[in-house]
Chains A and B, each alone.
Chain A
């Protein structure tokens, strides 16, 4: 009897139901967008290519041996001479290894992506912290952006922008943005309520409270978010090698298809050194925010 009911349900109710093919709709939407908004996408592509190629050229302008000194100087400025020395040594190893040019390309992609992601993420985080509706709307969107497998991003982006550096950068922007929004919102919400109240009690406007109280106090948390943004950008930029993104990612994906351990390991190691450099430098910067320095002073 139960078997019969089960089969009945299957045959007459479930099977006739058309399949829910969200992916198909997505594809036709992308195709429609490509056909309708072609100039718009070309414009974005041009702009990002302009940013990327200029930055990559700038990073490659000095020979690698001298550029190492620049990296050391940046690390020194961000934290101190110890970090400067360590990062100088790390980048020196990278300069000595085969893929310096690709490393600089990857760095340029990371910088462009993380910069644009930050420009979008921080104001969005501010908005979400001030407004409940924005907060509840962005949360599922951010979950979606963070959990959708990274490879799946590349497909629609490639459809819109063809292969090359630009789809890699766009996919990276989308992938690395969520922590920027989340940390900004969190940091602003965590600001001591009484201090905000003090601002109100002295007659400060909401904008003034944001600028003078909330943002400075939330800055260490926001910086931690930007650190995450940059690290995620680096990991995504490598995946973007799959779509001809250039840089270390392309070396790694190529070595994977050719089972070329030597070049894969060289490129992988360069990624590691780059990651450590970016991580320590951004951390050093977040330790230098006024609030973090005030906290350090009293330990």
Chain B
């Protein structure tokens, strides 16, 4: 069972929302609705998130991503469609049951931290546990653990105003972690932070995710961020333009909208050896320098330069998958669509066409 599933989910703001949904279903474009003061924020979303996955919803401002994340914990009611959390239909819950579901299953991290200014760090972190009804001693103890987890030890008794932006968001993260829910919603959680701090927070999140394996829905408008942390990424502009892994988006953008986004992305960090390799015939592994298939391209520069022969890409069992040459790396970094067919990972290594082309430059 997926941790979160949405089925033909719509959210339209304004008068006559229901009618607008019917129109959207009939194929009326989103822009046509704006003329009559109806805003379609979320259009026909259908997707599922498995437990332990980091699912990134990516879109520009006004693309309905904040609305979407607030529907997942019932802060906003959908106009049409269904949301299932662990198979439970959110729309069928009473307000009381919905609150219990939030207490037990879903926590949230906010863009502007949303901390209580008059409470200390540890009291803020304990907020979710306080709502759960834990005794003071117990909730403070668990809050201290969460504070330690995000690396804020020593700042427990400070007030939020005494912390920097990055530290405040760690408090926000610790508050969500302390609640000990399976699902973590992160609404542009790192967008208000400086680029360096943001990267640090992304690393920390990935690090924590390695230990905790939560189901994370992460909202962002920054595609680099999305590709860095997301297992799968949904590019949204009202509707889902494309849903796939970072490589999918880079190598096979579904339309111009997605392609425009991916044009700015640092491809070398996202693409892996497997994605840029060129097919090769059956080879003796021992003659070549080998790299694992999951290594990102920006870590291949040195080995490629230092080795005369192409690098051999191998899978987990050390079986050869293909080869990487300086040419294949350069080709993969150019976003022009005409390079796509070659950069595409070939399911069958060793086809003639690939092998022939490969030999010439090598």
Chains A and B come from one and the same complex: yes
Interface string of B45-84 (1 = CB under 8 A from A): 0000000000000000000000000100101000000000
* CB pair B161 A217 closer than 8 Å: no
* CB pair B159 A201 closer than 8 Å: no
| Stretch binding the partner chain, chosen from B28-36, B98-106, B200-208, B303-311 | B98-106
Instruction: Say whether, besides A201-B106, A203-B99, A205-B99, A195 and B159 are in contact (CB < 8 Å).
Output: no
Query: In the complex, how many angstroms separate the beta carbon of A285 from the nearest chain B beta carbon?
Result: 15
Interface string of A234-274 (1 = CB under 8 A from B): 00000000000000000000000000000000000000000
Interface extent on A, as a size class?
20 to 34
Please count the residue pairs between chain A and chain B whose beta carbons lie under 8 angstroms apart in the complex: 78
* CB pair A201 B161 closer than 8 Å: no
Q: How far is the CA of A37 from the CA of B103 in the complex (A)?
A: 52
* CB pair A194 B159 closer than 8 Å: no
User: For residue B222, which residues in chain A have a CB less than 8 angstroms away from its CB?
Assistant: none
Query: In the complex, how many angstroms separate the beta carbon of A209 from the nearest chain B beta carbon?
Result: 9
Query: In the complex, how many angstroms separate the beta carbon of B69 from the nearest chain A beta carbon?
Result: 10
Instruction: Say whether, besides A202-B131, A202-B179, A294-B159, A217 and B117 are in contact (CB < 8 Å).
Output: yes
* CB pair B117 A201 closer than 8 Å: no
* CB pair B100 A203 closer than 8 Å: yes
* CB pair B75 A197 closer than 8 Å: yes
Question: Is there a chain B Cβ closer than 8 Å to A200's Cβ?
Answer: yes
| Stretch binding the partner chain, chosen from B107-115, B229-237, B250-258, B336-344 | B107-115
Question: Is there a chain A Cβ closer than 8 Å to B285's Cβ?
Answer: no
Q: How far is the CA of A197 from the CA of B70 in the complex (A)?
A: 9
* CB pair B118 A291 closer than 8 Å: yes
Q: How far is the CA of A203 from the CA of B160 in the complex (A)?
A: 22
Question: Is there a chain A Cβ closer than 8 Å to B279's Cβ?
Answer: no
Question: Is there a chain B Cβ closer than 8 Å to A297's Cβ?
Answer: yes
User: For residue A202, which residues in chain B have a CB less than 8 angstroms away from its CB?
Assistant: 102-103, 107-108, 127-128, 131, 175, 179
* CB pair A293 B118 closer than 8 Å: yes
Contact of A203 among B111, B131, B161 (CB under 8 A): B131
* CB pair A294 B114 closer than 8 Å: no
Q: How far is the CA of A200 from the CA of B98 in the complex (A)?
A: 10
* CB pair A290 B118 closer than 8 Å: yes
* CB pair A204 B131 closer than 8 Å: yes
Instruction: Say whether, besides A194-B114, A198-B110, A203-B131, A297 and B159 are in contact (CB < 8 Å).
Output: yes
Question: Is there a chain B Cβ closer than 8 Å to A27's Cβ?
Answer: no
Query: In the complex, how many angstroms separate the beta carbon of B184 from the nearest chain A beta carbon?
Result: 11
Query: In the complex, how many angstroms separate the beta carbon of B74 from the nearest chain A beta carbon?
Result: 9
**CB nearest to A292 among chain B residues:** B118
| Chain A residues proximal to chain B, CB less than 8 Å | 192, 194-195, 197-205, 208, 212-213, 216-217, 289-291, 293-295, 297-298
- Given A192-B112, A200-B75, A203-B101, 20 other A-B residues pairs in contact with their CB atoms under 8 A: A194-B111, A195-B114, A197-B114, A198-B108, A199-B127, A200-B102, A201-B75, A201-B185, A202-B127, A202-B175, A202-B179, A203-B100, A203-B131, A212-B116, A217-B117, A293-B118, A294-B117, A294-B160, A294-B161, A298-B162
